[in-house]
Structure 1
Amino acid sequence: MTNIVIGSGPAGRLGSYELGKLEKDVILIEKNHIAGTCLNEGCMVICALTDITKFIDSNRSFNEYGFIKSQIDVSYEKIVSKITETQEFLRKLNQMENESVGNKVIYGEAKINEDSVEVNGESLEYDNLLIATGARPHIPDVKGSEYGLTNKDILKIDDIPEKLNIVGGGIIACELANIFSTLGSEVNVIVRSEFLKEIDSDIKNYILKYILSDVNILEYSDIKECEKNKVVLTDDNELEGIPFFATGRIANSEIAQGFVDINPDNTIKVNEFMQTSRDNVYAAGDVTGGWQLTPVARMEGICAARNMAGYLNKISYNSIPQSISLNTEVSFAENEKISDDVKTETITLPAIAGPNSFWKILTGDTGLAKIEFDSENNRIKKINSISPSSVSDVAYLSYLMRIDSPLDEYSNFLEIHPSSDTNYKIIKSLWL
């Protein structure tokens, strides 16, 4: 049986690899670069740039303390060159990985027919099909929108912008504001409603006070026109600077229009088995909407692949960990199985332990941890953490939330010191 996978982002790449490991016949079709948005235009690019801004931020602090005297000269051109070189290396590894399990990788634009896929003038028949075509940046319908940059353009700009106007108020806008303000840009963030409205208020306030303190956040504002180096707001105020859109993403579902059922938001409709309205056609990743996160796309791609191979399984989205890549990492998770009607208690403590925290103690920006728990049923409901180790901390804690581990079992956890272990300190304090 031939399995065709269209799209080699996290969902398609991991889905095809899983099928190959299960000794299935697989053809992976990719329109542009293997590994999709994550490696080529998205989170890997953000992480690479944030590694640099963390260094700049630390260097600034050490200079202020007086025990290091140094001046940083940043070459954006060389940063882009090294990111591109690394991307090319990783693309080769990702292709080798898929080919190592017997998969065939074809580059070209696919077109779906009833029982076949056309690519590069060739018709390929399939028994099962996985659509993992991802999503693209949403461009607001305003005059001059063609002047606006998106995440697809980060590696195309010639130099660090002197002034930048970021339109959008979510995680991507926050990460971009952190990067370019640290690199030296004068940054405005223009938000139609509230900045980081889905983030805990204490976490948001910390970000604004200690991480984005040099960024001008304009809440309840909107643009009506863009120019090459300026935006005009709906109140007719003008802001100098390059427009940059971080206004959400649109599913690349055109390939499936009229072939499978499509949701009102143009994402592909799937069930809990990642199956579309056609029994032998599956979809996974950003093209299906929902959680637009690389780990979730991987999980969905693997789930779809196993079902295509005849191993029935389904997805659970409870307690998905998330992060914001900033100079100090922000991470959070929520147990959706615990109702908002349940009476909870909340404990908040500053994070003052661990690597990359010591030299921030005197300035008070070591981070914090905030845990909300259902004391009656002995379970964590929410975890919010800002610390250098928050990504791994919250990923681990979210796993314990998903397996419904009671709070008292956390007291047996032995952390490595030094680490930013405030999360565990809070939990253990409930029982020790």
Structure 2
Amino acid sequence: MKNIVIGSGPAGRLASLQLGKLDEEVILIEKNHIAGTCLNEGCMVICALTDITKFIDSNNRFNNHGFIKSQLDISYKKIVEKIIETQEKLRELNQMENELVGNTIIYGEASIEGDSVKVNNESYNYDNLLIATGARPFIPDVKGSEYGLTNKDILKIDDVPEKLNIIGGGIIACEIANIYSTLGSEVNVIARSKFLKEIGENAKKYVLKHILQDISIYEDTEVSEISKDRVITDKNEELEGTPFFATGRTPNSEIAEGFVELNQDKTIKVNEMMQTNRSNVYAAGDVTGGWQLTPVARMEGITAARNMAGYPNKVSYSCIPQTLSLNMEVSFVEDENSTCNDEDKSTIGIPGIAGPHSFWNILTGDTGYTEVEFDAKNNKINRINEISPSSPSDVAYLSYLMREGYNLDDYGDFLEVHPSTDSNYKIIKNMWL
């Protein structure tokens, strides 16, 4: 077999698809379900639940405005049933997509034995191997940690917890807090350092005031012990509620131990071509650490596949766009390679504007917020934080222009779609240029 790919998450699935399109022979091996964490336990589950919470939020808003009178009866059990039903349909499509380019898919747990891979008691030799085994929730060493839920349990619980203690202060913690608070849980978030360090301070203030206003945040707080129905902090506070870990990810790299070189944190060490210390063995996605985002995993998988097929290319991580899936999306991007000095930085921030999914927010003054930081000396964008219904697509396209090094003068001919809630164009075209 010329190419074997272990793991069918975003990295492995897209790598296999790319190899198949290049007329390469491929076996794709998956331990559980095709499409990995994203579809089965992660992003898509969050998106599905957030669609529900957006509807609840809109219903509450319209009721408060007085032109709709309705009372919702939410069935968490039925929501879970329909998510699973949708996942099954998407798995079929993802499998069909790979098979249509001639790839063979094998379900089973793989092990690496030198120049071959063993699965279901069968051994397959390879010319090139891609390890894309992903990651799993990191569980901190805390007394009672076995009682904590993770994202893997969202579709297993019977109902919305009455009280929920989310341990962690990053993106996953924020999204989980938004979902269950909107569904009716009393939510605490316990952050070891600061909450939402990923976004700017003004954007964070907006999120806490307008989106997560019913959530209690405990910053600079460690968890010393948990039980089934409470969390004890290092400040001797006892917080009632089901514990939920959103404390990061740990790589599923055990399959590669002693075979390829690992980093200190047990992620697989790769170069810019996604190549390990073995020239014909590659790794991509969350198992390599770094940016643990679905689009990045796809990019890494495609990069690895092209190199495996003899088309040399390298991966680049500049200006990676990110989004918080909340009742109103929060998207952000930063040029980490900017050499701009503080004295050359200039920031403009304005409230969001009326548009699709935001018109009725004008009455309550929570239309969102957009902030753009400029490099005044080099006439470029350094950073964007946007809170608006259109922010995921707005920031994705602007991140591309940032990545390509466009000068701000190049934005002069940009023509926006109307109506839109995109305030970036207003800041860049009308307030900066």
Are 2:335 and 1:335 equivalent residues in the alignment? yes
Alignment of 1:17-96 (within 5 A): 17-96=17-96
Code of the residue aligned with 1:370 in structure 2: it is: E
Code of the residue aligned with 2:291 in structure 1: it is: W
Per-residue CA deviation, residues 359-378 of structure 1 (Å, 9 max, x unaligned), is 11121110011111112211
| 8 Å CA contact retained: 1:411, 1:431 | no
Q: Which residue of 1 aligns with 2:129?
A: 129
Q: TM-score, normalised by structure 2?
A: 0.98
Q: Which residue of 1 aligns with 2:393?
A: 392
Q: Which residue of 2 aligns with 1:173?
A: 173
Q: Structure 1: how far apart are the matches of 2:218 and 2:334? A: 28
1:23, distance to aligned residue in structure 2 (A): 0.3
Size of the aligned set, in residue pairs, is: 432
Q: Structure 2: how far apart are the matches of 1:260 and 1:87? A: 34
Q: CA RMSD, aligned part only?
A: 0.9
| 8 Å CA contact retained: 1:353, 1:421 | no
Q: Structure 2: how far apart are the matches of 1:269 and 1:303? A: 15
Q: Which residue of 1 aligns with 2:375?
A: 374
SS in 2 for 1:361: helix
SS in 1 for 2:152: helix
Are 2:229 and 1:258 equivalent residues in the alignment? no
Q: Which residue of 2 aligns with 1:425?
A: 426
Are 2:365 and 1:364 equivalent residues in the alignment? yes
1:430, distance to aligned residue in structure 2 (A): 4.4
Q: Structure 2: how far apart are the matches of 1:293 and 1:30? A: 20
1:411, distance to aligned residue in structure 2 (A): 1.8
1:68, distance to aligned residue in structure 2 (A): 0.4
Per-residue CA deviation, residues 290-334 of structure 1 (Å, 9 max, x unaligned), is 000000000000000000000000011110000100000000001
Q: Structure 1: how far apart are the matches of 2:240 and 2:290? A: 35
Code of the residue aligned with 2:79 in structure 1: it is: I
Q: Structure 1: how far apart are the matches of 2:197 and 2:432? A: 33
Are 2:135 and 1:108 equivalent residues in the alignment? no
| 8 Å CA contact retained: 1:330, 1:390 | yes
15-24 or 353-362, which deviates more: 353-362
Q: Structure 1: how far apart are the matches of 2:359 and 2:95? A: 42
* Structure 1 alignment gaps of length 5 or more: none
SS in 1 for 2:323: strand
Are 2:257 and 1:270 equivalent residues in the alignment? no
Q: Structure 2: how far apart are the matches of 1:383 and 1:83? A: 33
368-377 or 123-132, which deviates more: 368-377
Q: Which residue of 2 aligns with 1:206?
A: 206
* Structure 2 alignment gaps of length 5 or more: none
Q: Structure 2: how far apart are the matches of 1:53 and 1:431? A: 36
SS in 2 for 1:13: helix
| 8 Å CA contact retained: 2:319, 2:334 | yes
89-98 or 190-199, which deviates more: 190-199
Per-residue CA deviation, residues 49-106 of structure 1 (Å, 9 max, x unaligned), is 0000001001001001100000011000000000000000000000000000000000
Q: Structure 2: how far apart are the matches of 1:71 and 1:255? A: 51
Task: State, as a whole percentage, how many aligned pairs show the same letter.
Answer: 72
Q: TM-score, normalised by structure 1?
A: 0.99
Q: Structure 1: how far apart are the matches of 2:354 and 2:381? A: 22
1:353, distance to aligned residue in structure 2 (A): 2.6
Q: Which residue of 2 aligns with 1:402?
A: 403
Q: Which residue of 2 aligns with 1:303?
A: 303
1:198, distance to aligned residue in structure 2 (A): 2.6
Are 2:248 and 1:248 equivalent residues in the alignment? yes
Q: Which residue of 2 aligns with 1:323?
A: 323
Per-residue CA deviation, residues 253-298 of structure 1 (Å, 9 max, x unaligned), is 0000000000001000000000000000000000000000000000
SS in 1 for 2:363: coil
1:431, distance to aligned residue in structure 2 (A): 5.9
| 8 Å CA contact retained: 2:354, 2:362 | no
Per-residue CA deviation, residues 16-70 of structure 1 (Å, 9 max, x unaligned), is 0000000000000000000000000001000000000001001001001100000
Q: Structure 2: how far apart are the matches of 1:213 and 1:353? A: 22
Are 2:132 and 1:140 equivalent residues in the alignment? no
Q: Structure 2: how far apart are the matches of 1:4 and 1:307? A: 14
| 8 Å CA contact retained: 2:30, 2:105 | yes
Q: Structure 1: how far apart are the matches of 2:414 and 2:93? A: 36
